Amino acid sequence: MYELNQKAGALKPYDPIAGQYEVRLDANESFLPLPEEVVLDAQTALAELPFNRYPDPTAGEACAAFAAHYGVPVEQVVAGNGSDELITVIFSTFLEKGDAFATIEPDFSMYAFNGFLQEARHVAIPKNEDYTLDIDKTIQVCREENVKLLIFSNPCNPTSLVCPREEVARLIRSVDALVILDEAYMDFSDQSLLVQAEEFDNLILLRTCSKAFGMAAIRLGFAVARPELAEVLRAAKSPYNVNALSQKIGALALGQELAIKAALKDILASRDELYAGLEKLGQAYPGRFTLLPSATNFCTMLMPDKQEFFEYLKSKSIVIRLTGGVVRITCGTWEENARFLSAAEDYLKGADA
């Protein structure tokens, strides 16, 4: 009888929250739909797509639109079926069995998962007590442990904190490892190294269309690196990894500069509204939780009774996310934010009674 090997037997699926809830503030998606002009253009393009043909293996139109939007050379850009696919390709290409890879914890859980699949050695570097990055310690550990690949998010998911670009650049220049800088949330901050990516021979930078652009459904992400690294990714990925519809919609949306700016403004206004509401609750119920600064589209709380809080909100048909030992709340519509804050106050009030 066939038996699973130890690696396969240990696998568990990623655990997004399943079920129907009236308010979903758990997945860091945009609460805004695609702009109407993009939807209309996509409908027109749909009728013209040659569905009997494979998509462009280079995703040339989408990569060109991304390059134009961010002001980077198109030869440095590689498209993926979401940045998740690009992370998988990077781990399988640049790591060999037994190599050391490092994460800076807490961080996105899928980094460690990909290292496990590659049978690489995981070096978990803890963040400071305030959840900021300890750059000097990270450099030291990478050198001592002969780390081949260092991966971390900036701004960080799930802490919502951003590390200054100067410090990140110092880290990249100070290690021999390949550094994977995941800037999935950098559209909400101003500390990007995107336009400086070509200055580093050991950097692959990741971006996504799932957060600020409201295109989580089409699974489109990008890697940016010096041409020699970008070419390795093109060789390692699946030949037709991004479907034609995602390529077209991504290119159309990335070309809508005014709509992108308007959406980003609305998302940041929602985040600030949510943050201000949580600050007010923190003042009304001192000592119940700690609110971290936010450079993302979500807010992060440190809370000893986080599981009870989570379950209470679920009972009110509101879901948030518990991950990395913290409470993460995605900003939503005005009504969603208001309903969450009202339920959170009810919980805090009842727990104090």
320-335: pLDDT as tens digits: 999 999 999 999 999 9
Distance in angstroms (rounded) separating the CA atoms of residues 34 and 178: 35
Distance in angstroms (rounded) separating the CA atoms of residues 89 and 79: 12
Q: Which residue has the tokens 């969450």?
A: 340
The residues near 276 (Cβ < 8 Å, ≥ 6 apart) are none
At 37 the pLDDT is: 86
Contact 28, 294 (CB under 8 A): no
Distance in angstroms (rounded) separating the CA atoms of residues 307 and 188: 28
The DSSP call for residue 101 is E
Core vs surface per residue 306-320: b (16+ CB within 10 A) or e: beebbebbeebebbb
Burial class (CB in 10 A: 0-12, 13-18, 19+), 111: buried
31-86: pLDDT as tens digits: 999 888 888 888 998 889 999 999 999 999 999 999 999 999 999 999 999 999 99
At 153 the pLDDT is: 98
Burial class (CB in 10 A: 0-12, 13-18, 19+), 220: buried
Closest by Cα among 296, 335, 339 to 210: 296
Distance in angstroms (rounded) separating the CA atoms of residues 226 and 276: 41
pLDDT greater than 90 at residue 8: no
Closest by Cα among 214, 210, 203, 211 to 175: 203
At 350 the pLDDT is: 85
pLDDT greater than 70 at residue 351: no
- Domains (range + CATH), the chain: 6-30+259-352 (3.90.1150.10), 36-255 (3.40.640.10)
pTM above 0.85, yes or no: yes
User: Can you tell me the mean pLDDT for 257-261?
Assistant: 91
The residues near 299 (Cβ < 8 Å, ≥ 6 apart) are 160, 271, 274, 275, 278, 291, 292, 328, 329, 331
Where are any strands of DSSP class E within 29-183?
Answer: 77-80, 100-105, 121-126, 147-153, 178-182
DSSP H or E segment with residue 204 = strand 203-208
Distance in angstroms (rounded) separating the CA atoms of residues 327 and 252: 35
